[in-house]
Amino acid sequence: MKKGNKLYLPIIGIGIVLIIMISSVKVVFANEDIAYMLKNWFDEKQSASIEEIERTISQEKEKQTTRLKSEIHEAIQSAESQYEVFLEEEKTKRKQELIDYADQLISNYDVSVEADQVLIEKLNCLITKTEIEMDIVLGKKDTSQLIDCGELQVNDAN
C-alpha cells in the first residue's frame, strides 16, 4: 500500500495544482470581463452623452434662429416705416421748395397779365410734374403718368 499511497499523492498534488491554475484563470477572465464591461459602459455613456449634447445644441440652434429671424423682421419693419416717413417728409419739403420758388418767380416777373398767366400755367404744370416724379420714386405711380409741360421760355424785359 505504500506504493498506492505514493500514487495518490502525485494525483492529489496534480489535482491541487490544476485547481489553483483553473481558479487563477477564472480570476484572469473575470478581470478581462470587468474591463470589457467597463469599456462597454463607458462607450454607451459616451454615445448617449454625445447624442444628448447634439440634440440640445440642435434645439437651441432652432430657437435662436427663430428668434434672430423675428428680430430681423422687426428691424426691417421699423426701418421701412422710418424710410416711408423720411420719403414723405422729403417729398413735402421739396414740393414746398418748388412752390416757394415758383411763387418767387411769379412775384418777381413783371410782364403783361396775359404773359403772366402762361407762365403761371407752366409753373403749375412743372410743380405737378415734379409731384408725379416723386410719386414714381416712391412707387406710387408709374412713368406712364408723366406729363409734358413744354419748355419754359423767359423773355427778359429788363
pLDDT tens digit sequence for 129-151: 888 888 888 788 888 877 887 76
Confidence class for position 157, pLDDT limits 50, 70, 90: very low
State the Cα–Cα distance between residues 5 and 10, nearest whole angstrom.
9
Confidence class for position 1, pLDDT limits 50, 70, 90: very low
Q: Is 99 within 8 Å of 127 (Cβ atoms)?
A: yes
Does the pLDDT of residue 107 top 50, yes or no? yes
The set of residues, in sequence order, having a beta carbon less than 8 Å from that of 94 and lying 6+ positions away, is 130, 134
CA angle 66, 67, 68 (to 5 degrees): 90
- DSSP calls for 111-152: S-HHHHHHHHHHHHHHHHHHHHHHHHHHTSS-GGG-------
Find where cell 454625445 sits. 50
State the Cα–Cα distance between residues 128 and 101, nearest whole angstrom.
14
Does the pLDDT of residue 26 top 90, yes or no? no
Window from 37-51, 64-78, 104-118 with minimum mean pLDDT: 104-118
Report how many helices (DSSP H) and strands (DSSP E) the chain contains, helices first. Answer: 2, 0
Confidence class for position 110, pLDDT limits 50, 70, 90: low
Does the pLDDT of residue 156 top 60, yes or no? no
Q: Is 106 within 8 Å of 121 (Cβ atoms)?
A: no
State the Cα–Cα distance between residues 131 and 124, nearest whole angstrom.
11
State the Cα–Cα distance between residues 16 and 89, nearest whole angstrom.
108
